[in-house]
Structure 1
Amino acid sequence: MENTHNFFMPKTNLIGVGSIKDLPNELLGWKLNKALIVTDKNMIKLGYLEKIEVMLKNLFITYDIFDGILHPNSTVSFVEEGLTYFDKLFRRAYNLVISIGGGSVHDCAKAIAAVAANGGSITDYEGYNKITQPAVPHIAINTTAGSASEITMFAIITDESRKVKMSIAAPNILPFISVNDPMFMATMPQDITASSGIDVVSHSVESYISTEASPMTDTLALGAIELVFNYLRRAYVNGNDLEAREQMMYANVMAGMAFNNAGLGYIHAMAHQLGGSHNQGHGNYNGILLPYVLQFNAESVPEKRLVNLAEAMGEKADSKPEAVEKIGMAIKKLCSDIKIPSGLKMMGIEKNELETFSQNALKDIAALTNPRKGTLQDIISIYEAAM
């Protein structure tokens, strides 16, 4: 009986303090002449763009800058605006896309690179493996420890017309090179540190109990959880704590490697719907939903796996019920310590929206690898419990 677990990630991953200095060496043999930089105005203000501009100039690579990522959830309109830079009227022939920022910037860059090479609209590619041609080569320079978009084949793009976050997944949108240098993460504000950090936990938990989990992804997921529980509070309290930033960076990469290859579950399927409608921090939704989704999934997850999750969070449990309870308490305590809202109502979610959210959540590709299959009423009940 076949049981394949193929493993996808970028060809080259530059990781660690000072790793950005290795990027020019990676580009020397590429024979590039023009790049499109995708970023946001905050990255420009912080001086991160300038560092990359110096590198490109030294390599005689010309570039244009698209800084139209205006909020933390990339949209179809952002992608379409970025694609205007590829308009033949301007005779721009980019052979490289560089994203500088967090998950929203990387997702938008992936979408731009994919449509530039495949044609059509990004809405044509919602779902799994619909991008059949390789995207324009993409380098993702990461500045947050959370989404892991810089190393994954996923892009989350909000379709404003439907108020739905589209999940787009295909190996052809994997960046060629990822850069995770904690020096670029020291300026992350507290709220982004918190939201992106709890996102790492949700990636790890979901990949560990996914129907596509493997020994490789298990090891990465548990290791990432342990790092988050040891270092996220420190990074939140003191953004200049470089050790904490570096360890959270490793947690982000490890969790990204895990879910990129094992998949996710209902936490993300449900959170995507909230973000598509309310346009708030994705990680906050995940942190709120996590204990309630885990409680729903528990009956389909072996006891040993739940005990292992609790242990990675620093909790000892001797039974499945005890593990579920202690995991829930550990997550809620961490969320409280880093000021994640305690309920969906605090984030403006209304009860009359839950049925529509639930219908769309069941269609989200993240739901495919959830360990327990739920009904529409099951999903509504989870949302209600998390209010």
Structure 2
Amino acid sequence: MKTNFDFMMPSVNFFGPGVIEKIGQRAKMLNMQKVLIVTDSFLKQMENGPVKQTEASLRAAGVSYAIFDQVEPNPKIRNVKAGAALYKAENCDSIITVGGGSAHDCGKGIGIVLTNGEDVTKLAGIETLDKPLPPLMAVNTTAGTASEITRHAVLTNEETHLKFVVVSWRNVPLVSFNDPLLMLDVPTKLTAATGMDALCHCVESYVSENSNPITDAQAIQGMKLIGQYLRRAVANGHDLEARTNMAYASLLAGMAFNNADLGYVHAMAHQLGGQYDAPHGVCCAVLMPTVERWNMIASPERFADIAVFLGENVNGLSKMAAAERGIAALERISADVGIPANIKSIGANPADFKVMAENALKDGNAFSNPRKGSKADIISLFEAAYNA
């Protein structure tokens, strides 16, 4: 655990039912003259959906806008380039992302290429950005990635099938909005995948080498809320109490990992997502039990804590037995919400594991993992997750 640390998050985060109405007001306060709304075609077409509500709020405030609706899952470099071209063609001066992690990451990518250079692949890494992005706000519609508040922009090179991350304090949106009412119609599978991503953020933050007392508090509360409410949100998407608490948990998880960093689960999940265009939350959820069981010996006390946070009774158990119960709790919640049991089910091919392991160890998330592994170790973890 670190004793000297900095702490990053948006200067303002609006949370709660109905806060989307504040978008136009805040855009005007930031002197946004013409906004590029970055979203996907599905959200754009939703009647009275989050994009329509964003448009209405901007119009009421007298703020002009254009819409880029070509965001794909696991946003690609081509999406970023197309969005940047539209930004220039429409003479925009600011960006509002509307959606989940894909929209937010794409919007950050657009901002990065507009101000820091067109070849975004050369900017992969930590604190590589010299210039600020255009003013950026983020409207969140899923409880999972927390990209609306983080410094991470996760993009996919469609030519190499590799995901890469640009990590910079300059990527943190100026304002974020978490309105649970926007999440009521999120499909069951997406609810499960994003919820498990949030749980993984909490777990990896809590066991990270870079954790600190503030991130611990956030990760702990996030785990408790997810353990209590994720199943409910999956069972009934219109359970507003469950949706609100999952949105809260996701926000806490984002604050935690934005500052404590993550680990091998995310480093390896980025390879799965990039290689097979698989949903990020599913990749994390399938890998998490295997990777964290391997991590246990680095910090059995922390994994025993995780068992308690997820509602397990560990009275009378040794630290390792209690830690194992924490891993079992992760497996159980994943199964309960319908996550596949192994990476074979999402199309993984063992022939790719060598290259994927090499790239996972280069991923920015790998360096804060509590246990240090070799390429052979990561290959073995991919194999174990394949055969689970």
- Asked whether the two chains share a fold, i.e. TM above 0.5, the reply is yes
Task: Assess if the C-alpha contact under 8 Å between 1:140 and 1:179 holds in 2.
Answer: yes
Task: Assess if the C-alpha contact under 8 Å between 2:150 and 2:173 holds in 1.
Answer: yes
Task: Assess if the C-alpha contact under 8 Å between 1:294 and 1:324 holds in 2.
Answer: no
- In the other structure, the counterpart of 2:25 is 25
- In the other structure, the counterpart of 2:353 is 354
Please state whether the residue corresponding to 1:68 is helix, strand or coil. Answer: coil
Please state whether the residue corresponding to 1:332 is helix, strand or coil. Answer: helix
Q: What is the CA distance between 1:319 and its match in structure 2?
A: 2.4
Q: Could you tell which deviates more after superposition, 43-52 or 148-157?
A: 43-52
Q: Does 1:308 align with 2:300?
A: no
Aligned-pair identity (%): 40
Q: Does 1:85 align with 2:86?
A: yes
Q: Does 1:197 align with 2:199?
A: no
Q: Could you tell which deviates more after superposition, 243-252 or 14-23?
A: 14-23
Return the match for 1:146 from 133, 144, 147. 144
Q: What is the CA distance between 1:117 and its match in structure 2?
A: 1.7
Matches within 5 A, 1:116-131: 116-131=114-129
Q: What is the CA distance between 1:114 and its match in structure 2?
A: 1.6
Q: Does 1:68 align with 2:70?
A: yes
- In the other structure, the counterpart of 1:263 is 261
Task: Assess if the C-alpha contact under 8 Å between 1:307 and 1:316 holds in 2.
Answer: no
Whole-angstrom CA distance in 2 between matches of 1:23 and 1:56: 7
Please state whether the residue corresponding to 2:362 is helix, strand or coil. Answer: coil
Whole-angstrom CA distance in 1 between matches of 2:23 and 2:347: 42
Task: Give the letter for the 2:347 counterpart.
Answer: G
- In the other structure, the counterpart of 1:16 is 16
Q: What is the CA distance between 1:292 and its match in structure 2?
A: 1.2
Task: Assess if the C-alpha contact under 8 Å between 1:128 and 1:365 holds in 2.
Answer: yes
Whole-angstrom CA distance in 2 between matches of 1:57 and 1:185: 23
Matches within 5 A, 1:129-278: 129-278=127-276
Q: Could you tell which deviates more after superposition, 149-158 or 324-333?
A: 324-333
Whole-angstrom CA distance in 2 between matches of 1:31 and 1:140: 16
- In the other structure, the counterpart of 1:113 is 111
Please state whether the residue corresponding to 2:250 is helix, strand or coil. Answer: helix
Please state whether the residue corresponding to 1:151 is helix, strand or coil. Answer: coil
Q: What is the CA distance between 1:41 and its match in structure 2?
A: 1.0
1:276-329 CA distance string (max 9 Å, x none)? 01001111111111111112111211x332221110011133323212321221
Whole-angstrom CA distance in 2 between matches of 1:272 and 1:34: 34
Please state whether the residue corresponding to 1:23 is helix, strand or coil. Answer: helix
Whole-angstrom CA distance in 1 between matches of 2:44 and 2:28: 25
Please state whether the residue corresponding to 1:158 is helix, strand or coil. Answer: strand
Whole-angstrom CA distance in 1 between matches of 2:332 and 2:382: 20
The alignment's TM-score, normalised by the length of structure 1, stands at 0.96
- In the other structure, the counterpart of 1:343 is 342
Whole-angstrom CA distance in 2 between matches of 1:377 and 1:49: 46
Q: What is the CA distance between 1:24 and its match in structure 2?
A: 3.2
Q: Could you tell which deviates more after superposition, 250-259 or 48-57?
A: 48-57
Whole-angstrom CA distance in 2 between matches of 1:159 and 1:37: 23
Q: What is the CA distance between 1:30 and its match in structure 2?
A: 2.5
Whole-angstrom CA distance in 2 between matches of 1:220 and 1:62: 37
Flag structure 2 segments of 5+ consecutive residues without an equivalent. none
Whole-angstrom CA distance in 1 between matches of 2:85 and 2:103: 17
Please state whether the residue corresponding to 1:354 is helix, strand or coil. Answer: helix
Q: What is the CA distance between 1:138 and its match in structure 2?
A: 0.7
Q: What is the CA distance between 1:112 and its match in structure 2?
A: 0.3
Q: What is the CA distance between 1:54 and its match in structure 2?
A: 1.4
Task: Assess if the C-alpha contact under 8 Å between 2:304 and 2:324 holds in 1.
Answer: no
Q: What is the CA distance between 1:3 and its match in structure 2?
A: 4.7
The alignment's TM-score, normalised by the length of structure 2, stands at 0.96
Task: Assess if the C-alpha contact under 8 Å between 1:291 and 1:327 holds in 2.
Answer: no
Whole-angstrom CA distance in 1 between matches of 2:178 and 2:87: 28
1:93-138 CA distance string (max 9 Å, x none)? 3221011100000000001012112222211210111111110111
1:185-227 CA distance string (max 9 Å, x none)? 0010000000000001110000001010001000100110110
Whole-angstrom CA distance in 2 between matches of 1:166 and 1:208: 23
Return the match for 1:48 from 40, 47, 50. 50
Whole-angstrom CA distance in 2 between matches of 1:185 and 1:365: 30
In the alignment of these two chains, the number of paired residues is 381
Q: Does 1:94 align with 2:78?
A: no
Task: Assess if the C-alpha contact under 8 Å between 2:302 and 2:323 holds in 1.
Answer: no
Whole-angstrom CA distance in 2 between matches of 1:251 and 1:83: 32
Whole-angstrom CA distance in 2 between matches of 1:323 and 1:352: 36
Whole-angstrom CA distance in 1 between matches of 2:83 and 2:26: 25
Flag structure 1 segments of 5+ consecutive residues without an equivalent. none
Please state whether the residue corresponding to 1:247 is helix, strand or coil. Answer: helix
